[in-house]
Amino acid sequence: MTECTNLHNCFQNERLMEVVLDGTPLPANVARHVAHCPLCQSTLAQYEELHFKLLSRLYRSQCPSSLQLGFFCAGLLSGAESEAIASHVAQCPLCSLEVLQTQEFLHDVEQIR
Q: How far is the CB of 112 from Zn ion (least distance, A)?
A: 29
Strands (E), the chain: none
Residue 44's identity, in one-letter code, is: L
Q: How far is the CB of 103 from Zn ion (least distance, A)?
A: 15
Helix (H) or strand (E) holding 70: helix 66-73
| Contact (CB, 8 A) for 50 and 31 | no
Q: How far is the CB of 28 from Zn ion (least distance, A)?
A: 15
- Of residues 68 through 97, those in contact with Zn ion by CB under 5 A are 92, 94-95
The verdict on 99 binding Zn ion (CB under 5 A) reads no
- Of residues 17 through 76, those in contact with Zn ion by CB under 5 A are 37, 39-40, 63
d(CA 14, CA 37): 17
Binding region for Zn ion (CB under 5 A): 4, 10, 37, 39-40, 63, 92, 94-95
